[in-house]
Structure 1
C-alpha cells in the first residue's frame, strides 16, 4: 500500500508538470488566432474592394450573393434608400458555387468538396455521392461484425460529434455508412469472418456468397455500369434538349447494351443478346453522330464532323476500363473476408497446439489480427470508395471545376 501511495504522489506531480507545460505551450493561441483573423479580414477587404467603384460621390458595389439572401438585401437597400440591381449570371461568367442540400444529406457535399468544387453551371453530385460512397464502403468492409464495432465507437463519441455543424454532418454520414455496412455484412453472411450455419437466423439472411466469384463479379460490374449510366443521364438532363444531350444518352445506351450482352453470355438468352446489340449499336451511333457540334455546311464539314465522332468513339476503351475498375469492390471485400477467416483459423490452431496458454495467445491473435484487418478495411473503404466517385463517376458526370462561395464576413475570435 505504501508503494502504491508513493506511486500515486509521483503521478500527481507528473500531471501537475504536464498541466503547467500545457499552459505554457497554449498561452499564445488566442493572440495568434486574433492576429490571424485580422490578416484574413484584411485580405477579404482587399478582395472585396476590387468590386467597388467610386467617383464624384457615386459608389457602386458589385458581388455575388446567394439567392436565398436576396430578400434580406432588398429590404436593406429599401430601408437605406439605395438602388439594387440583381441579375442571373450569364453562361460566360464564372460565379462561385454554393452547394446546399437537405440537412440529412449535407455529408455528401463534404465528400464532394473534399476533392473538388463543381462548376456553377454544372450540377450538384452530393446526393449521389452520399449514397454511393456508403454502398462502396459497405462492399469493401463486407463484415457485419466490423460494422457493429465501429458503431460502438460512433455511439461513444455521438455527443461530442454533435457539438459542431461539421461534426453533425459527419455523424449522420457515418451512421448511414455503418448501417449500410451492417446490412451488406448480413447479406454476405460474414461476422468477424465467421459464416453462420444455414439453419440459423443469420444463415437464412445470407443472400450473397463472396466465394461465388462469377456472381460477385456480375454484381460489381452491374453496380459500376449503373453508376456510370447515372452520371451520363444526369448530364443529359442538364444539357437537354436533344440533340445537345445525345452524346451522354448514347454512352448510357452503350453501357446498358454492353452489360446486357455480358448477361446474355451468362444466361444464354437470344432475346438478351438482341436487346444488348440494339442498345449498344444505337448508343455508339449517337456518340459517333453527335460528339461534335461542328455545323454541316458541305462535304468537307460533314467529313470533319464524322472524324470528330470517330475520335469520340475512342473513349470506348476508357469506359470499359472504368467499369472494370468497380471490380475492386468485390476484390477488396473478398480480401477483407479472407483475412478475417485466416486470423480465426490461426487462432484456433494455436489454441489446439498449446493447451492452457494457447487460449491467451489465441485471444491476442484474434484481437491483433482483427484490429489490423479492420484498420485496412477502413482505409480501403475510404480511399477506394471515394476514388470510384471522384475518378470514374466524375469523369463522366462533371467536366468543369469551380470554386466555393464564401460570404464576405468579419471573422470573430473569442476567449
Structure 2
C-alpha cells in the first residue's frame, strides 16, 4: 500500500456558472475541498438531520417492518419524523411507567388486595408496613404502638403498625415498606391499560416503518445539498469570477482536463510541496487492503510520511497468534468466522474485516502447531509432534524469540521512516545507528548467554555484537550533530544537541523488552488451558455428578481463557504497533481524504 500523490488544483469559472461547476465537481466525486483553516479541512463536511437520524434508528429497531415506499406524493419529511419521535417518546414514558407499576405490584402482592379507609373515619390513624425476619420477632414485644401480624412466609413476618404519625426509623430493626396508596386491584388495572397502550404504540411504529426509505432518500438529498452549500462557502468571488481550491489525485489530472473542457471551467494544478498539508488517501493493495483499517484505528499517517498499513497487517497478525498460542482455539475461531463469512459479504468494511480475521486465524493456527498446543493438549507422538518445533516451557528460548521479534519490529520501523520524503543523509545515519544499536544489544545479550555452550572459549561473537552496538551509538551521535550543523546552530550547540538523542538509548532498551509480553501472555494462555484440563479430568475420572462438573469446568474454563486471549491479542497486538512501532517509525499524523461527492440514492 502507498499514499496517493495529490496535486493542488485551483478551479476558476464565471460566477454565473458557479452552481453548475460545483454540481459537476460533486458528481465527479474525486476532489477534496480545501478550507481556509487547514486543521478543519479534514473534518466531516456533511450535516445530517439529527432528528432524522434518531427517527431512522427508532423505526429500524422495530421487530416487524412494513414494505418500504419509494414514492409517496403526500410524504412530509418533517411531519413523519416528528410523528416517529413522538411515538418514541411515548414508548419510553409508557415503558418506564409500566416498569414502575410492575415493581409496585411485586411489592404489594404479598400483602394482599385491600383498600385504605378514609383517615378521618379512624381518627387520622395510618397503617405502616414492615417485613420482619423470623429471627427478629422478639422486637415486636418491645413495641408500644398497636401492631398486628397479617401474614407470614417461611422466613418473613408481614407486620402492620398503627400510628397517627410516621414511626421512628429505629422502631424495628428493618426499614418500613413503602406500598403506596393504591390497592393491588387498581395496580393490576393500570398494568393492563399500560400494556394495551404499549401495543398501540408498537403498532404505530410498525405503520411508520413504510416511510424508512423515503426518510433516507430525503436525508441523502439534504446531505448532498449541505455539502454543495459548504463548497459554495469556500469559493472566492471577485470580478465576475469565482475560484475554488481542491486536492486531486495526481493520476486523475488527465481526466480532470477532459472534465474541464466539457464543462467550460479552467484550472491550474501544482504538486504538493513540503509546506502544504494535504489529506491522506491510501491506495489499498488487494493483499494488504485490511491494513488500512488498522491504520485508521489509531491515526492516519501524514501525507509526507509513509504508509504503515502492510506492516500493521502482518505484525498484528503475528502478535495475535503468539498471544493466542493454541491451534485448537484458532480452529474454533476459524469455524466461527466461516459461519459469518457470507454475512460479511454485504459491505466493503465486512469484506475487509473478514480477510483480516482470516489471516489472523491462519497465522494463529500455524503458530499453535509450532508450539504444539491443541486446547491445552500436546500432540503426543503422532505426526503433529514432528511439527512441534517450539516449547513454551523453555523460557530462555521463548524470551529470546520474543525479544528478537521486537528488535526486528523496531529495525523495520526505523528504516520504514525513511520511505516518505527524501530524507537527508544525517537522518539515514541516525536511523541506521538506532537499528545497529538494537541488533548489537540483542546479539550481545544472546551470545553472552550462549558463550558457555555454543561459543565456549570463543569471544569473537560477543566482541562483534559489542562493536555493532558501539558503531550504532557513534552513528546516532554523528547523525544528530550533522543535522544540527545543517540547521546552522553553531559547533558547540550542535555538539550538545548531538548527545541529547543518545538519551533515548534507555527508551530503546525499554521498548525492546516490552515485546516480552508476547511470550508472557502466550504462556499464560497455554498454562490456563492446561490447568482447566487438569481440573476437568480430575472430576471426570470420579464419575457421577463429578462428571457433569468436569464437563462444565472444561467448557467454562476454555471459554473464559479464549475470551481473555482474544482481548489480550487485540489490545496488546495493537499497542505494540501503535506505541513502540509508531515511536520509531514516525508515520506522523494526517487527516482523511474526504471526497466532495453525492451520496447515491440506491433505491431509485
With the length of structure 2 as denominator, give the TM-score of the two structures. Answer: 0.62
Contact kept in structure 2, 1:296 and 1:302, CA below 8 Å? no
Greater share of residues in strand:
2
Q: How is 1:331-342 mapped onto 2 (pairs within 5 angstroms)?
A: 331-342=520-531
| 3-state SS of 2:247 partner | coil
Deviations 1:369-412 (A, max 9, x none): 11111111111111111110001000110252110101101224
- CA distance in 2: counterparts of 1:41 and 1:324, whole angstroms: 52
Q: How is 1:29-178 mapped onto 2 (pairs within 5 angstroms)?
A: 30=213, 33-34=216-217, 37=220, 40-41=223-224, 43-49=226-232, 51-178=234-361
Question: Of 215, 223, 226, which aligns to 2:408?
Answer: 226
Counterpart residue number, 1:358: 546
| 3-state SS of 1:290 partner | helix
Question: Of 281, 294, 311, which aligns to 2:484?
Answer: 294
Task: Please identify the structure whose Cα radius of gyration is greater.
Answer: 2
Question: Of 540, 543, 558, which aligns to 1:370?
Answer: 558
1:54 is displaced (CA, Å) by 2.1
1:49 is displaced (CA, Å) by 3.3
- CA distance in 1: counterparts of 2:378 and 2:534, whole angstroms: 13
Counterpart residue number, 1:24: 205
- CA distance in 2: counterparts of 1:97 and 1:131, whole angstroms: 21
Question: Of 536, 547, 568, which aligns to 1:380?
Answer: 568
Deviations 1:310-368 (A, max 9, x none): 21011111111111110110000001001111110110111123x22322222221111
- CA distance in 2: counterparts of 1:22 and 1:88, whole angstroms: 59
1:296 is displaced (CA, Å) by 7.1
Question: Of 395, 398, 405, which aligns to 1:213?
Answer: 395
Of residues 100-109 and 286-295 in structure 1, the stretch that sits farther from structure 2 once superposed is: 286-295
Contact kept in structure 1, 2:484 and 2:498, CA below 8 Å? no
* Residue segments in structure 2 that go unaligned for 5+ positions in a row: 1-61, 66-201
Matched residue count: 396
- CA distance in 1: counterparts of 2:229 and 2:494, whole angstroms: 48
* Residue segments in structure 1 that go unaligned for 5+ positions in a row: 1-16
- CA distance in 2: counterparts of 1:257 and 1:333, whole angstroms: 27
RMSD over equivalenced CA pairs, Å = 2.3
1:194 paired with 2:239, answer: no
Question: Of 226, 251, 260, which aligns to 2:434?
Answer: 251
1:43 is displaced (CA, Å) by 5.0
With the length of structure 1 as denominator, give the TM-score of the two structures. Answer: 0.89
1:277 paired with 2:458, answer: no
Deviations 1:52-71 (A, max 9, x none): 22223222221011223323
- CA distance in 2: counterparts of 1:240 and 1:145, whole angstroms: 46
